[in-house]
Amino acid sequence: MTRVPERRVRTVLGDVEPSALGHTQPHEHVLCDMSAIVRAWGPAPVADDPSPAVSIRQEFPASARARVAEPIRLDNHDWIKRTVLNLDNLRLLSERDATEELTLYRASGGGAVVDSTSVGLGRDPLGLARVARGSGVHIVMGSGYYCRDYHPPGLAEVAAEAVCAEIVTDVQEGVGDTGVRAGLIGEIGLSWPVHPVEDKVLQAACRAQTITGAPLQIHPGRHPAAPLQAMRTVLEAGGDPTRVIMSHLDRTLWRPEDLLELARTGCYLELDLFGQESSYYAFNPDARRPNDRTRIEWIQLLFEAGFGDRVLIAQDICQKVYLRRYGGPGYTHILENAIPLMRRMGMGKDEVVAVTVTNPSAALTMG
């Protein structure tokens, strides 16, 4: 008699049944540090491409450098939201803040989040475990490496086989001596054009996916061609496209036909910037940023085209300005604002449950 493999989701406190998750936001950051992007000369150009559509390079005058270093206040809150580049804003380091914010999320009906913080962003396995215990929210932790600007020294010299082995160990045994296991490979960070070391990491992540059965989450470069190129790499490396979560599509693709073309690859399409409704995107000024209504229209389009079971939504909270404590909506925005809007726009109960409960549960199930 053939034994049916046990289906489970791997959280920082252990494996749970997929049905235990409830409302799940599969791309958030609970504890992370993105401040490495702040430099006196602004973000470094992406690879060798100086195009302003994919990179920013500007000298900060003295007054701007002072603003980069000051704490978040009411009088600089809007400037920080528009530019992002503020050290205090980019550091989610407080377990107390994280526990309080996720406690509010749980009280509003939230059951689980994915902390997509990979190596280079200050991943904190033991801290996440403490926050999960304190808030009562299931937390799934990521693994692998983020974009090249965050790579640790020497990663270029590490063989792809060693990167794969590290990811497999994170998922199967735990990170270092913490005993805390990752339940997700990612977010694997890519620039545009993709840097060779990022390509190596993605290929290693694909091999680790086939070994562990864990889902693979990709942060594509900031260019409309980036998601499809990443999926081509997945296929060439032997990864399972149906176990891939393509993130940040609501800052990367803005034509319905592009979303449908990507959907035909079989991956999950993640619209994970709900609540971020500024028309200006600091890291790609030419991008067309949708508001929540447009995001929901895209979701309806995907359901009509038969891809409703491949849609995921989240908020990608990775800055203080999006936390309640610092004047933002907190992790509850989808629950309190986006879901009521979905209903007003005609989405049925089953469709809402699909994108908030059923789909993320299926995407995060190991095996």
pLDDT over 90 for what percent of the chain?
83
Domains of the chain: 10-33+92-364 (3.20.20.140)
CA distances, 342 to each of 20, 297, 301 (Å): 24, 9, 13
The single-letter code of the amino acid at 32 is C
- Choose among 229, 241, 214: nearest CA to 310: 241
Q: Say what the pLDDT of residue 47 is.
A: 39
The predicted-structure confidence for 7-49, as pLDDT tens digits, reads as follows: 899 999 999 999 999 999 999 999 999 998 876 445 444 333 3
User: At 269, is the secondary structure helix, strand, or coil?
Assistant: strand
Partners of 113 in the β-ladder? 25, 139
List the pLDDT tens digit at each of the 367 positions of the chain.
Answer: 444 457 899 999 999 999 999 999 999 999 999 998 876 445 444 333 333 333 344 566 777 778 888 999 999 999 999 888 899 999 999 999 999 999 999 999 999 999 999 999 999 999 999 999 999 999 999 999 999 999 999 999 999 999 999 999 999 999 999 999 999 999 999 999 999 999 999 999 999 999 999 999 999 999 999 999 999 999 999 999 999 999 999 999 989 999 999 999 999 999 999 999 887 777 777 778 899 999 999 999 999 999 999 999 999 999 999 999 999 999 999 999 999 999 999 999 999 999 999 999 999 999 8
